[in-house]
Structure 1
């Protein structure tokens, strides 16, 4: 290739890159405009709802589906919000906690599943669920970068954060899933007769699984996030409480005892409710082995309310 053709090719490449860069930003800011109108649904709406209410709420619960489906924060405070999001873990929760207002008294409830704390495979990638705001929030950007999730394509093509979310955004813009003004983040599970029968058959014909880990050394990243939450809450007038929600049966208890011991050592308040229903394990309280029905969730929420009766 002669020099003339090389220069022409380079110019063409630069033009293509520039055009895609401009188009990407047009798409990005367009979807920012649309997504900011979404206040329903877990993908975007719940995060937006949290961002606009986080400075006024006085009780907030974090965690995965076992938070989202199990904790009615309205029983604890009329100014409570459940920020549980399915499929998330400690990195996601810790990042959102750091976005709370400084020097405002709040009760922070973080629901954790103890086995997850001892898994070597945990990499903090659940924080990537927040990448839609990577270029809009310095805390989210920092936390994503901190767990080595640097996505150099997204650094250049900002609209990549909306991949897989476009249909959900459009749907919730025009047909909101619920009225956010009466929604506080709590999504109880209402179990029908068929689901009850399926669970009963499962328990009848399946052997209880003994799912114990080979070792119990806490994942270093998990421990890091525990300490980060503790420091932030201590410095900003927040009461941090970790809990483990009920399980239908917990066949391996060593992770519970190890986790309890570690949290005592690092001085974090922790309550293990995994066996809350062990002496009164009514079928009506359960959807499956790890998820409570709406009836079970209300009983569990009453238990948390009794724990937190002391005002801020």
Structure 2
């Protein structure tokens, strides 16, 4: 049994099913209504302090590179620029990315003093989630919608083995008061011809990133700890567009297609462990912060190991 239909739940269920394990996948909301559905999503460690995130992310990187060869997946490899407003050496993981190269200051956008280019996966999340659902369906696994479960006792009654991929929902379900929502807002606009991504570095509460996805561009972003609303804030929207237009001027007048707001499930460390509760084996796989997509395949592989 896998609980949750976001990236963690779908990926974990798929890995288990492809390994020959009978899988039942249940969730209180469909994939298109999960936090994963409103993610950017550029592969890379983000809003996650756990030192294990990088190794899990590198495992996922190999999977996403392979998925980029399938046009149906919503995954593609894109070249782009990461830049910092103060001198910053590139993180070690960036140096190992395809096409890594330092960029001279004179070639950086105004206000940035150090930067580098590399190639990384960009994932069109609505397309990608449908792709995972399709692969699961081909194996006879479908998402079963059920009312939200109220406790870990109720989870234990679902079966002998349950993988908890409930995301922020684990705060009440487990319960786990260490989980904290960190709101993020994105603006999606028509693509005026952008084909490379941009991301500032390091992370801050007003990050700037431009993620082209075919005929649309995802603009970000925001980091608001403890904010639980999923309603778009017009002021934040305007600030995001202004910051992104400073990088790509054509974005200033691009037609807005949609607003996205999600709650990142942040925890001091990712909870990825096997426990026994009321006689049931429960594997917790939640608390991935802003790196849920980045670590999804790596964490699913650990779940398989934990279940033997």
Give the TM-score normalised by the residue count of structure 2: 0.27
Q: Which has the larger radius of gyration?
A: 1
Which structure is higher in strand share? 2
Give the TM-score normalised by the residue count of structure 1: 0.27
Which structure is higher in helix share? 1
